[in-house]
Amino acid sequence: GIQVEQSPPDLILQEGANSTLRCNFSDSVNNLQWFHQNPWGQLINLFYIPSGTKQNGRLSATTVATERYSLLYISSSQTTDSGVYFCAVVRPGTASKLTFGTGTRLQVTL
């Protein structure tokens, strides 16, 4: 099956710093989503981005499908950004089956 790798696995930032999270996948995908998992376990949708670039406030994401990677940028980080960030992909022909990466655990300190 498809492999989804995220880096770095852990990240500690001071409030106000910027960061880039990376997601590499081993095969072609139809869909790619970025999620933020809050401390209560809920997965919050950040981006639905099979290709191209999108921005939402301090967050932006870029997916280069032909090179099989996606990047999530967090600017001016805040303590509320802490949590685990997941990238998940859908292979063609697998309907809605998301394959998740192992996540990046982000801690933003004061």
Partner 1 sequence: KAGVTQTPRYLIKTRGQQVTLSCSPISGHRSVSWYQQTPGQGLQFLFEYFSETQRNKGNFPGRFSGRQFSNSRSEMNVSTLELGDSALYLCASSRDQRSGGLLDLYNEQFFGPGTRLTVL
Q: Does 7 bind partner 1 (CB under 8 A)?
A: no
Q: Does 110 bind partner 1 (CB under 8 A)?
A: no
Q: Does 2 bind partner 1 (CB under 8 A)?
A: no
Q: Does 3 bind partner 1 (CB under 8 A)?
A: no
**Nearest-approach distance from CB 70 to partner 1, in angstroms:** 15
The CA-atom distances, in angstroms, between 92 and each of 41, 53, 97, 105, 106 are: 28, 21, 10, 28, 30
The residue from 17, 60, 100, 105 that contacts partner 1 (CB under 8 A) is: 100
**Nearest-approach distance from CB 20 to partner 1, in angstroms:** 22
> How buried is 79 (Cβ within 10 angstroms: 0-12 exposed, 13-18 middle, 19+ buried)?
exposed
Interacting residues with partner 1 (CB under 8 A): 30-31, 33, 35, 40-43, 45, 48, 86, 88, 90, 92-100, 102-103
